[in-house]
Each structure stands twice: as structure tokens, then as C-alpha cells.
């Protein structure tokens, strides 16, 4: 195809001849080799048929002809492009010579009378002719030049043989020769048509290439492998690279300096070839003059006649100027929109239909979220119904619009309204008329002047504020007073006329602060342009007073000071109030002694002093004995008098550096500092002071005509360095004070570690006891109660504490603690409820349903106001027989408040509850209350039962109790029965119910029921 790309249309014949020559010479080597091989085979076959000399002579002639043809082929290949007619003529001559040599074979090597070899000869010549048709069909003359000489001789020789078959063979050869000519003609015609078509295509390609080369776009044609197969002239000029450097390469392989975006370019190209979908990309290309140019490249897939993708075209155009123009427009628009949107004024456009454009500030000023929301508003929606002057907003707006259209612009103040909150605000409006798209529109520039209006109001307020309660003085940069207010005159005593022209330092300075104070004040003022603090100044009458002063420097751009503004107030009353508050915070208002807070601070200082000097110190915890009785009998005002007198006496007993404080109530604490470095000597010194205080308190007091004698219990704890914290020291002295109380009061005791440890243990046990009930650590044990026949008729419920770490805690250890802390009330209620539920559970068991259950009730629990209601509610909710429940009370409980006890016992007796006096005989046993109380049972204390066999007095007491109860009709039960001898004694003296280890220990309910079932089974078996 490349041969015809530059052929003019006028030379079609020459082009056909050139194609003929190209085709004929191209087949020469193949034809020569074929001729030589066939000749050799033919010679070998004819060697024995004809004379060998004839064969050799013919073979030599043929080889010479073939060599001549090859030389002609080589000469054609080496020759420059010349006259194709000459080369065609030479080729025809060489072919004719070879044809003559093959025809000569029919003369020299025709085997007469040998039909077989005649057929072979005919076959060989026909084969050669057929081969010639293939290689020479593009030129009819060449084909005939070979075929006629080669076949004519054999046709003649076959005719001369005269046989029918040979004549037929000659006719067939002649017919073959005719067909060969026809094939040559058709081949030549086809050749001519193809050449003409290719010339036409070449012309079209040349026209297209001219069109492409003249295109202002850069055009590259790519194959399926993304390699360039064509590059137009504009592309060469654009990148200043010859097409030969680009053709056959991918974009990445042919990338050149200054080209940016080639990776994306090739990726887009590969995608277009893979999918067939168009694509585009922008790349930066370095022009020949060194400028960076922006090219927009569009990719289009190239498809074959079958619709399959065979490559792609890349169309690139320099869009640098377009980009620059677009960027300039964009920058201009951005600048306009920035100014339009970033201005603080609201800008809006409106026509006869309403609002149709606005900037961002308009949305902010009028409280709209989106432009659409703003455009949906009528102008009347953005104003209150009436303006500040009282005129209707719509009517007044119409007049403003007419004025703006007539004059072109109109500026005025207007009250607008926010769309979101409905809040009105003042605005400065500039209304301008303009032409837009052939119609008149209005542009409104709205500036919210709320701040300005507020500033104006602030100025008015400032003028009023200048006459505020605080004094104000304004000076120039040289501190000369320019203006003062009325408060200045009221506080200082100086009138405005007296103050103006003076300096504050000369007029008001008290002389109480030194030069360093003022130097520091002015350094701060010069550095920070403000100062405030407390200062002492002098009034006109000479009185020095404290004032709180604030000074602000007014400057130009934060540099040059123009004025000073000083505001101050008289804080004399405030200082007095602070002093009062300080006294209330740190001193006892009654005795004027340091309170607990100040005492802790003084004690912390004493510890620090001890650490520095290595001397001991001591604290004395003083508690007045029986002070409550004085308050209760004489009144609190007499008690307060006593506290004041005692405070004065204790202060008289101390050194100047010692401290006495009142902790509260009748408790005082004394801190002794700088005692001896030797502990024993320090203890003696502390005890001497304590004795002095105790003696002073023991002296009689005259309390409004009443003579009163007081005493105190004093606890002492020494300290050294920081060995103990403040809290630990207070705790130790408190412990020592309680030791003095327990020793009989009016005593002095030093801290005892053993007692302290016991108190710590008690506190720890109390904390654990408070968790015992919520954490279900309590459990009821049951001890059998039997009669003289050995039958079990009931049990006593006994509380046990199963501690998760301590194990079983003795009731003697925790019951008193529970009573002291009041925890016995909820614990007792739990015991009572658990016992009732156990009675309910036994009701369903025939062997256990007859049992009675005794429950101990503490005095604290019994004397609760709602105790009767609690018991009654439990009996009702759990639904048990009240007769089965027996409450055991102690003598102490009964005698504490006999009337309350009788009332509650009778109330519970009415609903069926039974009562027993526990530990009878151990307290103050009164026969009188026995006759008043609705008792059902007396329980003889185990301390008497234990010794009935060995101690006659205990035996007499037991006999007396039994006899007395029997005479009163009260049942008797003895507890602590451990031996048969004790049981026999009790039975012989009329006591027939017992409880003790002889019959069973207190055990959990499961063991109790199991033991009882064993007794029942044993009884049934007997």
C-alpha cells in the first residue's frame, strides 16, 4: 500500500505496470527453484529413454536460462526505481527463453512409441504451465511467452504420433492453453481493478491526511496496544518532535520534557480502547517557546467494518487561552460574589413580583436559612406593621419606592423585622432604581444599625453612669484631673472645683503606702494599661480610709496615653464586714475563742514548729462534766455564761503562744507548744497545765446570783514532729478524755494505746455490723425447751452472726454494740419477722405445728412508738397463731418506763401474744410490777441454775422464784440446765420446764428439726 500513497491519478497505467513488475519479480526465486527441481526430476526420468547427451544438453540450456533470470532478478532488486516497461520487457524475454527451453524438451526428449513417458512429459510440461499461471498471471504476455513455446512442441509431436489417445492429449493440451489465456486475462483484469481501487484509497488517504495535517487540533491514531500509528503535523509542531519519534510508542514511552499528566492520559486511552466509551483528559504541554500550555484531549474508539475496536483516535486542542479567559471570568465573578456575599450589609433585588436575589448577609440579617425561604417573603413580611413614627409600613414603603425611582437613589432609616424570631431592628436603607433586562428593578442595601443605636444609647447611659455610686475621676496624660462626678465629692469631700486642675497624688495621698507601692502600680499601669487594687487614701477632713481603685489608660492605637480614668469606692464597710465574716469563720461567737477550723490550722502550725525545734507539744481535750444538767435545769443562757467564764479562766492559765479553742458544746481544746524535748518532761509540763486548768474550773462560779460548781475531764496527747496527723492527734486526745470520764470524771488522763485499740476495734466492728443485715450475715439458731416428761414444747430463737471473715461472732460482743448504735431496732425486727415465718413454716408439719417460739426483744426496740403496730402487722401478714409467739423482756426493759411497758404488753396481749421475763432475779426484781404486768412466764437466770447443787444461797433464790411464780399463777422455766442433778432439783421444787445444753445446744433450724424428729421417732417407737 505504501507504494501507491504518492501516485497521481494520471498515471494509473504506470501504476498497473509497476504492480505487474513487482509481482512478477517477487515470484522469481520461487519459480527458478521450482523449474530447477522439476528439470532435474524430468531429466532423471528421461535419462534411460532418450540419449543422455540430449538430456545433458537440454538441462544445461535450462540452467543457463534460469541463471539469466536470477541475474535479471538481482539486477532489478539492486537498481533504483526506473522504467517499469523496460523491466517488464526484459522479464518477458527471460520467460520466453525459459519457455523455449521447455519446448525444446519435447523435441529432444520426446520418447516415440513410449506412451507412458509421453504422458509423463505431457504431465511435466502441464505442471510447469500451471505453476506459471500462479506466478505469471499478472502479465498475460509473460504467461503466453512461457506457455506457447513450452506446450506447442508437445502438441505437434503428439499429433504426429497419430494415435487416438495422443491426438486427444494434444487437443486437451491445446484446450488447457486456451484456458490459461483466459485465466491470464481475468487475473490481469482483477489486478487492474485492485490497483485502481488502491490508488483511489491512497488518494482518499492522501486527502484525509492533508485534511488531518491541516487541522488545528493535535491528532494521534493509536493501535490496540496503545502505540501511535499516525501523528499529524500539528502534533509535531505542538511538541516540537518529529512523528518518527512518536510512532510505534505508547504515551508513557514517548513522554517528553514539560508534559504533565501523561499517566492519566495513558490510563484514559487504555480505558477507551477497552470499553469503547469516549473519554477526555487535560494535560500540560511545554510549547517550543517554553510556555506551559493546557491541552484538552478527547479520545474516540476506532472500529473496524465488523464493529470491533481496532484502535483509538486522540484529538487534542490547546485551550490555554480559553482557560485563561475562563479563569479571568471566574476570578472576576468570585471577586464580585465575594464582595457581594462578604459585605456586612444586606443587598437584595426586587421587582413588581417581589424579591428575586440577595447576598448571604441578607439571609443573616433577616433570619432566613436559604435564599428560597427569603424569596418567598413579601417585602411587607420583613417590616413590622408600623414604623417608629407610627405610620403604616406598607404605605410609607410605597412612598419611599416612588422617591427612589424619581431620584434614582433614596436613603432613609427603617424598622425591619427578622423572619425567624419576628424581632424588629433599626436599619439604614439605600434604595436604588436600575434597569435590568429591560425592566426597572430596585436594589436595596440594608445596614443593621442596632449597634449604632445601642452605642448612642450607651453614650446616654454613660453620661448617666458618670454620676454613679462609684467615684470617677478623669485625668489627662499628666495625671491632672479634668472631670469628677458627684460620688467623688461625696467620698473624698472635695468639690469638682477643688479637684479639677489638681493631681490625685497631691490631693488624696495618705502617706500610708511607700514609694515602692506606687512604683509597682505605675509599672503595671504602663505595661498593661490598667491597674486595680486596694489603696489607702485621705479624705478632705484628714480621715484615712480604704478604697478599691481601678485605673484604665485611654490610648491611641494602644500606644500613646491620652487620658486616665480612675473609678473607686469606699470599702470601709466592706472591710468591717470581712473582719466580721473572718471572726465568724474562725472564732466562736460566744467565747471569742478560735473555733475548730482555726484550731486545726494552729495545730498544723504547732506540728511544723515541733518539727523545726524538735520539742514536744501537747493537746488537751477538755469536756465539762454534767454540763447538760445545767442547761436543762437553769437554761441555755446560764450555760452560755458558764462557757464564757470557763474560757476566760482557761486563757488565764496559758502562755501567750498557747491556744485554747472551743470545739462546740462543752468541749474545749488546748494546744501547748514548745514543751521539753524529753517526752517525760513534756508530759509533766502538760499535766501541770492540765491540773491548773482543772483547778481553775473547780472554783465556784457566780452565774447571775447562782453559785455553781463545775468539773472537767481532760485527755492529754503528746506530739513530736509530724509523727501523727491532726486527725490522729484529736482522736487520741478524745480517747484519753473518755478514759477520764470512765474513771469517774473530774480527772486527767494521758492517751492509752490499749484503750485506743479497743475503740478502733469497736469502730471497725460497728462498720461491719452495719453491713451484716443488708448482706444477710445473720442467722437464727434454735434451742429446745422441754417439760419434765422430756417432751419438746417450744424453742428460743437466738441470733447468730456468721461473719464472712471473722466466722461466728459472739452475741455478747455484738449485741451491746447494736444496742448502743441503735442497730438493734432493724436487727430485732428482722429476728421477729424470721421467727414468725419459721412458725408459719412449722404449721404444715404435724410434728412441729405445736411448737411455741420465744423471741428476745431489746429495750430500744420495745420502746419504739410503733412496736405494737409492727408486731401486729407481722402477725397479720404472715398469718400465724399469736399464741405460738412469746416475747422475752428483761427486767431493765420493764422498769425503764413501767407505764409504757404495761400499755404495750396489754395491747399485744389482747391479740394473743405471750410474754416472758428473761434473766429473772439478776436485776432489781420488784414484786409490784409482777402483779401489774400481763406475764405468762418467768425465766430463771442460768447464773442461779448453774450453782443450785453447790451454793445454798442460789438454791434458796431458785426455790423462792419458783414459789413466788406458782403463787402468782405464772409459769416458770429454767435456762442453762446442763446436768441431770440440776433438772432433778428444779423438778423437785416445782419447776417443770427447762432449757439448756442437757437437752440440746442452739443449732440452725435444719439441725433443730432433725433432732426433734429423732426425739419424736424415738418416742413413737417406745
Mean pLDDT of the 923-941 span: 76
Nearest residue to 314 via CA among 226, 218, 398, 383: 218
Domain count, the chain: 6
Q: What's the number of CA atoms in the CB half-sphere (13 Å) around residue 141?
A: 11
% residues pLDDT > 70 (the chain): 88
Q: Tell me the pLDDT tens digit for each residue of 391-444.
A: 888 888 888 888 988 888 989 989 998 888 888 899 999 988 888 877 888 889
Same domain, yes or no: 356 and 374: yes
Indicate whether 581 belongs to any domain.
Answer: no
Instruction: Using the structure block, give the residue that is written with the C-alpha cell 445444753.
Output: 997
Indicate whether 955 belongs to any domain.
Answer: no
Nearest residue to 489 via CA among 478, 501, 477, 497: 497
CA distances in angstroms from 434 to 99, 237, 335, 353, listed in the order given: 102, 52, 22, 16
| pLDDT for 583 beyond 50 | yes
Mean pLDDT of the 227-253 span: 76
How many angstroms separate the CA atoms of 843 and 850, rounded?
8
β strands within 145-236, DSSP E? 218-223, 228-231
Residue pair 312/268 in contact (Cβ under 8 Å)? The answer is no
Indicate whether 431 belongs to any domain.
Answer: yes
How many angstroms separate the CA atoms of 984 and 974, rounded?
12
Same domain, yes or no: 642 and 696: yes
| CATH number of domain containing 444 | 3.30.450.20
Instruction: Using the structure block, give the residue that is written with the C-alpha cell 484538552.
Output: 296
Alpha helices per DSSP H over 660-725:
679-698
Same domain, yes or no: 594 and 556: no
- Report, in this order, helix, strand and coil percent for the chain, each rounded to 5: 55, 20, 25
Lowest mean pLDDT across 117-126, 276-285, 630-639, 678-687: 117-126
Q: pLDDT band at 887, cuts 50/70/90? A: very high
Q: What's the number of CA atoms in the CB half-sphere (13 Å) around residue 871?
A: 26
Mean pLDDT of the 304-332 span: 78
How many angstroms separate the CA atoms of 824 and 151, rounded?
148
Q: State the pLDDT at residue 9.
A: 47
Q: What's the number of CA atoms in the CB half-sphere (13 Å) around residue 468?
A: 12
Same domain, yes or no: 623 and 497: no
Mean pLDDT of the 905-930 span: 79
Question: Of 576, 609, 644, at which residue does a domain stop?
Answer: 576
Instruction: Using the structure block, give the residue that is written with the C-alpha cell 423471741.
Output: 855
Q: pLDDT band at 219, cuts 50/70/90? A: confident
Q: pLDDT band at 206, cuts 50/70/90? A: low
CA distances in angstroms from 52 to 56, 66, 227, listed in the order given: 6, 21, 63
Question: Of 422, 455, 488, at which residue does a domain stop?
Answer: 455
Same domain, yes or no: 151 and 134: yes
How many angstroms separate the CA atoms of 667 and 588, rounded?
12
| pLDDT for 657 beyond 80 | yes
What is the DSSP code string of 122-151?
HHHHHHHHHHHHHHHTT-HHHHHHHHHHHH
Indicate whether 188 belongs to any domain.
Answer: yes
C-alpha cell at 382: 420583613
Indicate whether 572 belongs to any domain.
Answer: yes
Q: Tell me the pLDDT tens digit for each residue of 353-379.
A: 888 888 888 888 888 988 888 888 888
Provide the β-strand partners of residue 297: 281, 316
Q: pLDDT band at 5, cuts 50/70/90? A: very low
Same domain, yes or no: 339 and 428: yes
How many angstroms separate the CA atoms of 496 and 467, rounded?
12
0.75 surpassed by pTM: no
Residue pair 469/488 in contact (Cβ under 8 Å)? The answer is no
How many angstroms separate the CA atoms of 683 and 687, rounded?
6
C-alpha cell at 470: 462609684
Per-residue b or e along 379-404, where b marks 16 or more CB atoms closer than 10 Å to that residue's CB = beebbeeebeeeeebeebbeebbeeb
Question: Of 432, 455, 478, at which residue does a domain stop?
Answer: 455
Indicate whether 966 belongs to any domain.
Answer: no
**What's the CA angle centered on 111, arms 107 and 114, to 5 degrees?**
150
Edge-to-edge strands of the sheet including 712-719? 659-664, 667-672, 617-624, 712-719, 748-750
Q: What are phi and psi of 471, to 5 degrees?
A: -75, 140
* Total count of residues recorded for the chain: 1022
How many angstroms separate the CA atoms of 119 and 583, rounded?
154
CA 605 to the chain's CA centroid: 48
HEC per residue, 798-832? EEEEEECCCEEECHHHHHHHHHHHCCHHHHHHHHH
Lowest mean pLDDT across 164-168, 500-504, 779-783, 999-1003: 164-168
Same domain, yes or no: 182 and 139: yes
Burial of 668 (0-12, 13-18, 19+ CB in 10 A): buried
Output 816 or 11, whichever has higher pLDDT.
816
Indicate whether 923 belongs to any domain.
Answer: yes
| CATH number of domain containing 675 | 3.30.70.270
Q: Tell me the pLDDT tens digit for each residue of 521-575.
A: 888 888 888 899 888 888 989 888 898 888 988 888 777 888 888 888 888 888 7
Same domain, yes or no: 530 and 436: no
Same domain, yes or no: 322 and 336: no
Same domain, yes or no: 275 and 358: no
| pLDDT for 7 beyond 50 | no
Q: Tell me the pLDDT tens digit for each residue of 32-91.
A: 887 888 778 877 777 777 778 877 888 888 888 888 888 888 888 887 666 777 887 888
How many angstroms separate the CA atoms of 990 and 982, rounded?
13
Query: To the nearest whole number, what is the mean pLDDT of the chain?
Result: 83
Same domain, yes or no: 699 and 791: no
Residue pair 129/150 in contact (Cβ under 8 Å)? The answer is yes
Q: What's the number of CA atoms in the CB half-sphere (13 Å) around residue 788?
A: 13
Structural domain boundaries, residue 567? 467-576
Burial of 879 (0-12, 13-18, 19+ CB in 10 A): exposed
| pLDDT for 4 beyond 50 | no
Indicate whether 873 belongs to any domain.
Answer: yes
Residue pair 272/312 in contact (Cβ under 8 Å)? The answer is yes
Q: Tell me the pLDDT tens digit for each residue of 705-714.
A: 888 999 999 9
Contacts (Cβ under 8 Å, ≥6 apart) of 1011: 784, 1000, 1003
Same domain, yes or no: 545 and 676: no
What is the DSSP code string of 541-578?
TS-EEEEEEEEEEEEETTTEEEEEEEEEEE-HHHHHHH
- Sign (positive/negative) of CA torsion 81, 87, 88, 91? negative
Instruction: Using the structure block, give the residue that is written with the C-alpha cell 469497736.
Output: 762
Contacts (Cβ under 8 Å, ≥6 apart) of 812: none
Q: State the pLDDT at residue 836.
A: 95
Amino acid at each position: 500500500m505504501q507504494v501507491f500513497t504518492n501516485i497521481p491519478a494520471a498515471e494509473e497505467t504506470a501504476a498497473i505496470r509497476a504492480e505487474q513488475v513487482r509481482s512478477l519479480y517477487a515470484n522469481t526465486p520461487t519459480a527458478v527453484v521450482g523449474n530447477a527441481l522439476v528439470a532435474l526430476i524430468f531429466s532423471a526420468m528421461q535419462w534411460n529413454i532418450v540419449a543422455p547427451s540430449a538430456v545433458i544438453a537440454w538441462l544445461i540450456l535450462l540452467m543457463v536460462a534460469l541463471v539469466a533470470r536470477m541475474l535479471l532478478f538481482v539486477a532489478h532488486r539492486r537498481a533504483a526505481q526506473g522504467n517499469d516497461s523496460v523491466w517488464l520487457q526484459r522479464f518477458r524475454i527471460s520467460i520466453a527463453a525459459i519457455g523455449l527451453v521447455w519446448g525444446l524438451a519435447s523435441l529432444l526428449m520426446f520418447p516415440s512409441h513410449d506412451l507412458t513417458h509421453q504422458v509423463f512429459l505431457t504431465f511435466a510440461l502441464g505442471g510447469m504451465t500451471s505453476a506459471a499461471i500462479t506466478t505469471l498471471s499478472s502479465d498475460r504476455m509473460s504467461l503466453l511467452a512461457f506457455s506457447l513455446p513450452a506446450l506447442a512442441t508437445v502438441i505437434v509431436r503428439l499429433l504426429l504420433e497419430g494415435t487416438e489417445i495422443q491426438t486427444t492429449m494434444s487437443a486437451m493440451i491445446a484446450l488447457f492453453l486456451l484456458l490459461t489465456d483466459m485465466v491470464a486475462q481475468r487475473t490481469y483484469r482483477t489486478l487492474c481493478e485492485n490497483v485502481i481501487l488502491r490508488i483511489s484509497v491512497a488518494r482518499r488517504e492522501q486527502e484525509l491526511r492533508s485534511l488531518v495535517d491541516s487541522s488545528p487540533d493535535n491528532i494521534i491514531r493509536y493501535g490496540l496496544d496503545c502505540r501511535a500509528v499516525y501523528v499529524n503535523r500539528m502534533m509535531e509542531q505542538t511538541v516540537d518532535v518529529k512523528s518518527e519519534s512518536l510512532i510505534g510508542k505508547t504515551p508513557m514511552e514517548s513522554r517528553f520534557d514539560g508534559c504533565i499528566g501523561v499517566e492519566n492520559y495513558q490510563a484514559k486511552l487504555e480505558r477507551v480502547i477497552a470499553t469503547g466509551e469516549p473519554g477526555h483528559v487535560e494535560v500540560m504541554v511545554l510549547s517550543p517557546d517554553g510556555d506551559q500550555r493546557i491541552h484538552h484531549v478527547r479520545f474516540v474508539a476506532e472500529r473496524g467494518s465488523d464493529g470491533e475496536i481496532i484502535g483509538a483516535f486522540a484529538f487534542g486542542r490547546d485551550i490555554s487561552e480559553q482557560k485563561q479567559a475562563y479563569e479571568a471570568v471566574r476570578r472576576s465573578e468570585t471577586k464580585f460574589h465575594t464582595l457581594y456575599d462578604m459585605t456586612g450589609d444586606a443587598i437584595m433585588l426586587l421587582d413588581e413580583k417581589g424579591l428575586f436575589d440577595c447576598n448571604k448577609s441578607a439571609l443573616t440579617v433577616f433570619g432566613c436559612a436559604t435564599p428560597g425561604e427569603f424569596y418567598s417573603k413579601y417585602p411587607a413580611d420583613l417590616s413590622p406593621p408600623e414604623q417608629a413614627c407610627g405610620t403604616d409600613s406598607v404605605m410609607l414603603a410605597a412612598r419611599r419606592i416612588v422617591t427612589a425611582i424619581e431620584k434614582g437613589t433614596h436613603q432613609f432609616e427603617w424598622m425591619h423585622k427578622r423572619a425567624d424570631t419576628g424581632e424588629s431592628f433599626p436599619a439604614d436603607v439605600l434604595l436604588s432604581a436600575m434597569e435590568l433586562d429591560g425592566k426597572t428593578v430596585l436594589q436595596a442595601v440594608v445596614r443593621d444599625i442596632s449597634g449604632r443605636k445601642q452605642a448612642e444609647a450607651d453614650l446616654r447611659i454613660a453620661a448617666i453612669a458618670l454620676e454613679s455610686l462609684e467615684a470617677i475621676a478623669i485625668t489627662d496624660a499628666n495625671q491632672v484631673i479634668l472631670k469628677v462626678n458627684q460620688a467623688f465629692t461625696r467620698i473624698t469631700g472635695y468639690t469638682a472645683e477643688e479637684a479639677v486642675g489638681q493631681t490625685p497624688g497631691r490631693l488624696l495621698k495618705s502617706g500610708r503606702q511607700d514609694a515602692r507601692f506606687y512604683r509597682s502600680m505605675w509599672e503595671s499601669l504602663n505595661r498593661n494599661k490598667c491597674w486595680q487594687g486596694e489603696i489607702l487614701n485621705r479624705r478632705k477632713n484628714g480621715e484615712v480610709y480604704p478604697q478599691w481603685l481601678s485605673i484604665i489608660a485611654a490610648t491611641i492605637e494602644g500606644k500613646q496615653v491620652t487620658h486616665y480614668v480612675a473609678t473607686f469606692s469606699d470599702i470601709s464597710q466592706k472591710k468591717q464586714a470581712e473582719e466580721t465574716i473572718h471572726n465568724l469563720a474562725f472564732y466562736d461567737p460566744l467565747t471569742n475563742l478560735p473555733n475548730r477550723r482555726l484550731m486545726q490550722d494552729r495545730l498544723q502550725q504547732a506540728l511544723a514548729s515541733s518539727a523545726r525545734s524538735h520539742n514536744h507539744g501537747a493537746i488537751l481535750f477538755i469536756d465539762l462534766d454534767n454540763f447538760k444538767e445545767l442547761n436543762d435545769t437553769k437554761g441555755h443562757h446560764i450555760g452560755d455564761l458558764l462557757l464564757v467564764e470557763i474560757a476566760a479562766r482557761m486563757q488565764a492559765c496559758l502562755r501567750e503562744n498557747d491556744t485554747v479553742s472551743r470545739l462546740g458544746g462543752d468541749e474545749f481544746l488546748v494546744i501547748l507548744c514548745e514543751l521539753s524535748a524529753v517526752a517525760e518532761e513534756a508530759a509533766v509540763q502538760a499535766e501541770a497545765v492540765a491540773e491548773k486548768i482543772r483547778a481553775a474550773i473547780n472554783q465556784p462560779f457566780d452565774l447571775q446570783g447562782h453559785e455553781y460548781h463545775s468539773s472537767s475531764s481532760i485527755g492529754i496527747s503528746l506530739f513530736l514532729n509530724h509523727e501523727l496527723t491532726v486527725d490522729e492527734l484529736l482522736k487520741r486526745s478524745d480517747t484519753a478524755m473518755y478514759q477520764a470520764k470512765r474513771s469517774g470524771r473530774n480527772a486527767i488522763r494521758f492517751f492509752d494505746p490499749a484503750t485506743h485499740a479497743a475503740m478502733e476495734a469497736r469502730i471497725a466492728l460497728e462498720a461491719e455490723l452495719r453491713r451484716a443485715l443488708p448482706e444477710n450475715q445473720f442467722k437464727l439458731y434454735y434451742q429446745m425447751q422441754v417439760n419434765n416428761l422430756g417432751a419438746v414444747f417450744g424453742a428460743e430463737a437466738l441470733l447468730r452472726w456468721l461473719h464472712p471473715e471473722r466466722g461466728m461472732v459472739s452475741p455478747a460482743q455484738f449485741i451491746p454494740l447494736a444496742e448502743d448504735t441503735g442497730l438493734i431496732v432493724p436487727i430485732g425486727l428482722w429476728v421477729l419477722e424470721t421467727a414468725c415465718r419459721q412458725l408459719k413454716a412449722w404449721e404444715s408439719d404435724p410434728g412441729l405445728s405445736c411448737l411455741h417460739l420465744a423471741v428476745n426483744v431489746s429495750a430500744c426496740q420495745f420502746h419504739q412508738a410503733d412496736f405494737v403496730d409492727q408486731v401486729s402487722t407481722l402477725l397479720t401478714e404472715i398469718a400465724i397463731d399469736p399464741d405460738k409467739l412469746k416475747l422475752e423482756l428483761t427486767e431493765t426493759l420493764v422498769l425503764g418506763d413501767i407505764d409504757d411497758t404495761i400499755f404495750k404488753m396489754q395491747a399485744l396481749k389482747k391479740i394473743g401474744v405471750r410474754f416472758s421475763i428473761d434473766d429473772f432475779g439478776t436485776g432489781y426484781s420488784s414484786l409490784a410490777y409482777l402483779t401489774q404486768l400481763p406475764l405468762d412466764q418467768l425465766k430463771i437466770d442460768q447464773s442461779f441454775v448453774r450453782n443450785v447443787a453447790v451454793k445454798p444461797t442460789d438454791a434458796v433464790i431458785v426455790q423462792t422464784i419458783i414459789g413466788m411464780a406458782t403463787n402468782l399463777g405464772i409459769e416458770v422455766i429454767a435456762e442453762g440446765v446442763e446436768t441431770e442433778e440440776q433438772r432433778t432439783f428444779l423438778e423437785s421444787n416445782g419447776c417443770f420446764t427447762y432449757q439448756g445444753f442437757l437437752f440440746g445446744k442452739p443449732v440452725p433450724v435444719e439441725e433443730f428439726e432433725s433432732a426433734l424428729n429423732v426425739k419424736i421417732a424415738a418416742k413413737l417407737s417406745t
